[in-house]
Amino acid sequence: MDRRVQRTRAQLKAALTELMAEKDIQDITVCELADKVNISRGTFYLHYKNVFDMLEQVEEEMLQGLREAIAVRPADADSNPFWRLRPTYEFFTKHGAFTSVLMGPHGDRAFMQRVGNVLLEHCRRDYAAAFPGGNDRDYEYLFNFLFGGSLFILEVWLRTGQQETPEYMAERTNRATLAGIQALTEK
């Protein structure tokens, strides 16, 4: 993608982030976005159909970036089924401002469900391989418990300004996950 296009899109994303901190997406106009980044409405329409299309595309780009971030398998992945936690927190550190407004009062709360679906599609097989011997029903309970708790921890961390490092959060989430597994797998 051309650097000018990338720069314009980045500026529009920053403007959208700023405006979504103040008001609902349906109250944001193309004119406001264009004025904020000093471009014409016509230039905006070269990139997006409307504000909703822009939000959808930005969210999809973020989800694709998350998929890419958690796909890079480290050497110790076989001994750590929770290895995707750290790149997840690192990704959201990089994109924290936008995800924070998405979870705010004017945001798109459904976005975190989409994040959850991306993580779940990757983590399910990691957990099943690391904890063999369970039945499908037990796995389903376990996945939903671990996943729901981990996603909530991520949401709280984002909502409260990401004061801890990604490494710290990955380690704490890992500990909570292991404790949950132990509690659910004890006979």
Read off the pLDDT band of 117 (50, 70, 90).
confident
Q: Is residue 42 part of a domain?
A: no
Q: How confident is the model at residue 184, as a pLDDT?
A: 63
How far apart, in whole angstroms, are the C-alpha atoms of residue 44 and residue 65? 23
Domain that holds residue 100: 56-185
Q: Is residue 6 part of a domain?
A: no
Q: How confident is the model at residue 12, as a pLDDT?
A: 97
Q: Report how many domains make up the chain.
A: 1
Task: Specify the range with the lowest mean pLDDT, choosing from 42-51, 77-86, 169-178.
Answer: 77-86
Q: Is residue 161 part of a domain?
A: yes
How far apart, in whole angstroms, are the C-alpha atoms of residue 145 and residue 133? 18
Q: Is residue 117 part of a domain?
A: yes
- Is residue 98 a contact partner of residue 17, using CB atoms and an 8 Å limit? yes
Q: Is residue 112 part of a domain?
A: yes
**Mean of per-residue pLDDT scores for the chain:** 87
The model's pLDDT over 19-71, given as tens digits with 9 standing for 90+, comes to 999 999 999 999 999 999 999 999 999 999 999 999 999 999 999 999 999 99
How far apart, in whole angstroms, are the C-alpha atoms of residue 166 and residue 157? 10
